[in-house]
Amino acid sequence: MTDRPQPLIVGAGPAGIRAAQSLVEAGLRPLVVDEAPACGGQIYRQRLVPDERSSRDLYGSEAVKAERLHRHFAALAGHVDYWPQTLLWNLRDGRADIMAEGQSRQVSYDGLVLATGATDRILPIPGWTLPGVFTLGGAQIALKSQGCAIGSKVVFLGSGPLLYLVAWQYLKAGVAVAAVLDTAPFSAKLNLLRGLPLFPAVVLRGMRMTAELKLAGVALHYGVGNVRVLGAERVEGIAWGDASRERQLACDGLGYGLALRSETQLADLAGCRFCFDARDRAFLPERDAAGRTSVEGVYLAGDGAGIAGADAAELAGERAALALLQDRGLPHDMARARALEAELARIGRFRDVLEAAFPFPARWATMIADETTLCRCEEVRAGEVRGAIASFGVHELNRLKAVSRVGMGRCQGRICGAATAELLAHETGRGIEAVGRLRSQAPVKPIPLTLALDTHQEAAE
Amino acid sequence: MSRHLSVDVAIIGGGLVGSSTALALRGMGFDVALLDKGFCGAQASGVNYGGVRRQGRPVEQLPLSQRAHAVWPRLRALIGIDGEFLRSGHLKLARNEADMAALEAYASETAEHGLDLELIGHNGLRERFGWIGEGVVGASFCPGDGHANPRLVSTGFAAAARRAGVEVLENTPVRGVSRRSEGFALEAGEGLSLGARFVINCAGAWAGAFAESFGEPVPLSRIYPSMVVTEPMDAVMSVNIGMEGGGIYARQVERGNCVVGGERGLPLADPDFSRPRGEGALSIMNSAAALFPGLRHAQAIRFWSGTEGAMPDRNPVIGPSLTTPGLFHAFGFTGAGFQIAPGVGEVIAELVRDGATTTPIEAFSIGRFSALPSARTHHGSAAGQNQEPQQTGETRP
């Protein structure tokens, strides 16, 4: 292994940490790059400055897992190269362009594990760009990482397990939670009973959180639709329901999200083949059960390859590392690999249950008003997008981007891409899988125009 | 699933040349089919820099360029949108005295062509274009030039052609075209056959195989110009900027984003698509930040590249085939096709209708390559292996 470049792991969340650990155990020295200042990913994100809160306060029932993961990664010090606060902004031809400490370096790698995680999935509603509206994940990070609440009287809206978890965490932190508005009907929750035999503890924990919210007097509403965020300069309240029976509630903070979406830009830049995933309603990079992609030496692990949660991410990170070792002709534990795959498959079956319990609001595209902002980076309203679809006769996502600017801005469609695909599919009478996916372009996140290439670093390699 | 279509003119390639030709021909009353292997305007026509520029073109291109110049202000009438066309002027910078001398020579060489070039010295630049940084000794200004949004213009021409009654067939690659006793027979897409009296080969970077199949090999290569765009900024640059002797080129769109081009990208595994190189993009970015102090704190939000057909003498191939009656070529614009494409469309339509055009295009004849010894399409340094077949007669590219 002496003159081969080191493996590169992108992301220091549960998947990236477990991948790094397995590679180190096999005698390799991976480079781990991560955008955050400390390891843990989003789910086990660490606070920026120490405060009086305990791990239990921060991570609740997952405190043991969080502490273990942080500890294990700390123990890898000296055996990995770890670059926090680092952005991998481009991948090409087996080399990575990486921004760290204000400079860009080109890094060669031999084996690439993409553990890029996920962000909230959003479907725009009137008022969603008002100050005071956060994603569920953003609301959670404000609390976890900075000890801040997104308001003094907060409403949580959307779908997915995170909806109840974040509401419960805010409640426990002493924030007034005005309501939880679930876009799915109550009947959908009955699907969770099917999940009991698979993961009884998880299902029961969810039920307990819901019960505690209720006991604390938090209003829980199901089947919520026609939502409008109220306010002129910032969030002042929320309204929902049909015009004849509209309900309103005052609040100064709103957490909103409809489950999660995978961060797939780097897999795209790496040249991985994508296919449509019905459960996630998204195109995802293809991978086998071990995490191998269509590109030799590129592996996927964690939510970046399809939403499966933190426990699955740990397993998938380890599994991808074993695949890398195997492909490199190094000793690896095949029995362990099979056990990991079996457990991942079991979590996959549970994910089907969760999807049924927290279904995607598929009728959204029929409802979005023309004047609602669809792409906030480029400030494009839904009506303008409908107009572009009609006047240019486009029915493919990249063509729509070309003629409407949707997805061209700072976020490159990470925020609006899912919604745009839904709208295009609806307007053209096609399935969501038939409108294609936005092709990724570097840089995956904005970089300074004056970013300099550290040629000294390149020469040293 | 087979289908037959009989038209007057079959156009291979739905870029700006193809779609403007289609629209012009339809206006003359022809039945037209416009075929693209992907989506119309999705390749070089739609992803180029967006310069609408006559200044700097070889003098033999200027009559054609002037013809196109008259089309740009009429876009709204022609295709229903203005394509964000802005007659901002084009300022070509000189970084040293030799470059300035070259600009002066160009101005006198083209004096008869109506570009109204104005030479500006160092002090004049400071006064009028104070947002340009150090290291520039002078410039040449073409007030009638400008810039536009290629994504809208290219797609807009194809959409207008469709509305006018052109049969626009996307995702329909032409698999074979051959001359018959009466006109041409084409096979395209899945089971589509076409009969046409005329065929226009404007397939851009993919045009070489069609030309070669009619015994007219050309040294067409591929280039991949690289672009960087910034986040929206306050108004920084008021004109379209170019540089004598190469370097970067830059413009600011109405929304505030600055588009900066330069360098060359590389093709992907699928050589029909390309992306800039990381270090190339960084070089463009740093050059822009150095030349325009107002951009020093800007963020780059996106890069892109496109696949463009290039000729060794930097002139396109435009005009009738010399081997096959009824066949016309228009390709190889070498990174400078956007401005003249609407003019080329008019010229090709005239050639089809009248067999002649009022605009001089002799310099672009495919005949200038007829002395070529080999029937090989050769490829740019960055192109890698090209998969175009080398057949004659009935081709299946």
pLDDT in tens, A143-182: 998 899 999 999 999 999 999 999 999 999 999 999 999 9
Indicate whether A441 belongs to any domain: no
Provide the 8-state DSSP code for B84. T
Taking only the tens place, the pLDDT of each residue in A443-455 is: 999 999 999 988 7
Angstrom CA distances, A245 to A242, A425, B55, stand at 5, 30, 65
CATH assignment at residue A395: 1.10.10.1100
Q: Which of residues 42-101 of A touch B (CB under 8 A)?
A: 89-90, 92-93, 95, 97
Predicted confidence at residue B374, as pLDDT, reads 47
Same domain, A277 and A298: yes
Residue entry with tokens 């090989």 = B376
* For testing contact with chain A, the best of B43, B299, B304, B307 (most A CBs within 10 A): B299
* For testing contact with chain A, the best of B275, B287, B297 (most A CBs within 10 A): B275
Same domain, A136 and A240: yes
Chain B hits for A402, Cβ within 8 Å: 41-42, 46, 151-152, 155
Instruction: Please choose, from the candidates A251, A310, A254, A262, the residue with its C-alpha nearest in 3D space to the C-alpha of residue A287.
Output: A262
Indicate whether A457 belongs to any domain: no
Interface residue A102 vs chain B (CB under 8 A): no
CATH assignment at residue A237: 3.50.50.60
Residue in chain A closest to B274 (alpha carbons) equals A441
Residue in chain A closest to B268 (alpha carbons) equals A271
Indicate whether A141 belongs to any domain: yes
- pLDDT band at residue A48 using 50, 70 and 90 as cut-offs: confident
Chain B hits for A294, Cβ within 8 Å: none
Query: Are B299 and A447 in contact (CB < 8 Å)?
Result: yes
Which of A258, A286, A309 marks a domain boundary?
A258
Same domain, A103 and A131: no
Chain A hits for B294, Cβ within 8 Å: none
Same domain, A16 and A101: yes
Contact (Cβ atoms closer than 8 angstroms) between residue B376 and residue B209: no
Same domain, A30 and A76: yes
Query: Are B288 and A449 in contact (CB < 8 Å)?
Result: yes
Predicted confidence at residue B376, as pLDDT, reads 44
Q: How far is Cα B182 from Cα A452, in angstroms, rounded to an integer?
A: 61
Same domain, A64 and A185: no
Which of A258, A274, A307 marks a domain boundary?
A258
Same domain, A12 and A115: yes
Strands (E), A331-445: 373-375, 380-381
* Pairing mode, strands A8-10 and A112-114: parallel
CA distance A57 to chain B (A): 38
Q: How far is Cα A141 from Cα A118, in angstroms, rounded to an integer?
A: 13
Query: Are A403 and B266 in contact (CB < 8 Å)?
Result: no
Instruction: Kindly write down the DSSP assignment for every residue of B21-61, as one continuous string.
Output: HHHHHHHTT--EEEE-SS-TT-SHHHHS--EE--TTS-GGG
Indicate whether A445 belongs to any domain: no
Contact (Cβ atoms closer than 8 angstroms) between residue B67 and residue B61: no
Query: Are A106 and B278 in contact (CB < 8 Å)?
Result: yes
Confidence check: pLDDT of A196 > 50: yes
Chain B hits for A97, Cβ within 8 Å: 278-279
Distance from chain centroid for Cα A250: 29
Instruction: Please choose, from the candidates B217, B268, B209, B270, the residue with its C-alpha nearest in 3D space to the C-alpha of residue B12.
Output: B209
Interface residue A452 vs chain B (CB under 8 A): yes
- Nearest CB partner across the interface for A450, out of B41, B281, B289: B289
Interface residue B298 vs chain A (CB under 8 A): yes
CA distance A214 to chain B (A): 45
Which of A258, A276, A309 marks a domain boundary?
A258
Same domain, A108 and A142: no
Query: Are B152 and A106 in contact (CB < 8 Å)?
Result: no
Instruction: Please choose, from the candidates B97, B51, B24, the residue with its C-alpha nearest in 3D space to the C-alpha of residue B252.
Output: B51
Indicate whether A435 belongs to any domain: no
Indicate whether A371 belongs to any domain: yes
Residue in chain A closest to B290 (alpha carbons) equals A450
Query: Are A412 and B301 in contact (CB < 8 Å)?
Result: yes
Same domain, A340 and A388: no
Contact (Cβ atoms closer than 8 angstroms) between residue A440 and residue A268: yes
Interface residue B231 vs chain A (CB under 8 A): yes
Confidence check: pLDDT of A7 > 60: yes
- The count of structural domains within chain A is 3
Size of interface A-B (CB pairs under 8 A): 101
Predicted confidence at residue A461, as pLDDT, reads 41
Same domain, A134 and A149: yes
Q: What is the pTM of this model?
A: 0.93
Predicted confidence at residue B372, as pLDDT, reads 54
Per-position pLDDT tens, chain B of length 397: 689 999 999 999 999 999 999 999 999 999 999 999 999 999 999 999 999 999 999 999 999 999 999 999 999 999 999 999 999 999 999 999 999 999 999 999 999 999 999 999 999 999 999 999 999 999 999 999 999 999 999 999 999 999 999 999 999 999 999 999 999 999 999 999 999 999 999 999 999 999 999 999 999 999 999 999 999 999 999 999 999 988 899 999 999 999 999 988 888 888 888 888 888 999 999 999 999 999 999 999 999 999 999 999 999 999 999 999 999 999 999 999 999 999 999 999 999 999 999 999 999 999 999 865 544 444 333 333 333 322 333 333 3
Interface residue A441 vs chain B (CB under 8 A): yes
Same domain, A111 and A72: yes
Domain coverage including residue A272: 8-119+261-354
Alpha helices in chain B (DSSP H): 16-27, 44-47, 62-71, 75-79, 97-109, 122-128, 150-163, 207-213, 278-291, 341-354
**Torsions phi, psi for B296 (to 5 deg):** -60, -30
Contact (Cβ atoms closer than 8 angstroms) between residue A138 and residue A120: yes
Averaged pLDDT for residues A192-221: 95
Same domain, A305 and A224: no
Per the omega criterion (within 30 degrees of 0), is the bond before A443 cis?
yes
Indicate whether A61 belongs to any domain: yes
Query: Are A271 and B269 in contact (CB < 8 Å)?
Result: yes
Instruction: Please choose, from the candidates B31, B389, B81, B50, the residue with its C-alpha nearest in 3D space to the C-alpha of residue B251.
Output: B50
Q: How far is Cα A397 from Cα A289, in angstroms, rounded to an integer?
A: 29
Predicted confidence at residue B253, as pLDDT, reads 97
| Alpha carbon distance, N-terminus to C-terminus of chain A | 15
CA distance B65 to chain A (A): 26
- Nearest CB partner across the interface for A403, out of B155, B282, B296: B155
Indicate whether A393 belongs to any domain: yes
* For testing contact with chain B, the best of A268, A408, A450 (most B CBs within 10 A): A450
Q: How far is Cα B233 from Cα B295, in angstroms, rounded to an integer?
A: 8
CA atoms within 13 A on the CB side of A8: 26
